[in-house]
Amino acid sequence: MSEQQEATSATADVVRKGGAAVLVVIMALAFAGMGLFMWNMGRDMGTMTESVVQMGLDVGRMSRNMEGMAGNMNQMAKSMVEGQARMGDDFSRVRIGMESMTDNMANMSRDMGELNQNIAGMSGRILNMSVDMHQMNQSMAVMTNSMGHMGSDINKFSNPERMLPFMR
């Protein structure tokens, strides 16, 4: 072989190795970027879950307050019924309106309780989604590791003399 051919062969070998190295670095950076993105998204989902849980607690407190208000309104309606005997027909109409309003408040309190349950269910589903995101991050890490091993294996096949040292 001439010196020029050997120099050309050596240059091609360096270019091949350099290209493979650049490709492996780019792939590693891409996987690292995706992993960071997934980690941030998982952290944001956790924060959102905490907010939704707090919202559920607030709705629960509101529901209890509304039940207390409904009880107070019911007591007020009973007091008005006792006063109706003395106050006549006008108070009778007010009593009917107050009873209706008490029923509406009780219905609203039940609805708030159901809303609280729905938000609690949603919190659970968001928590499950956060767990799934965590598992996906772990899978991405395993895949990144496997890709690194594949790059090493491909590099060995591109240089068979590394696998068979006696051929040098």
Structure tokens that stand for 33 in this block: 């970027």
- How many whole angstroms separate alpha carbon 52 and alpha carbon 126? 9
Express each pLDDT in 119-148 by its tens digit. 888 888 888 888 888 898 898 888 888 887
pLDDT category at 29 given cuts 50, 70, 90 is: very high
- How many whole angstroms separate alpha carbon 148 and alpha carbon 12? 24
pLDDT of 152: 72
Burial 103-142 (b: 16+ CB within 10 A, else e): eebbeebeebbebbeebeeebeebeeebeebeeebeebee
The chain-wide mean pLDDT, for the chain, equals 81
What is the model's pTM?
A: 0.33
* E-assigned strand segments in 32-100: none
Structure tokens that stand for 14 in this block: 């360096």
pLDDT of 78: 82
Phi, psi values for residue 164, rounded to 5°: -125, 85
Phi, psi values for residue 117, rounded to 5°: -65, -40
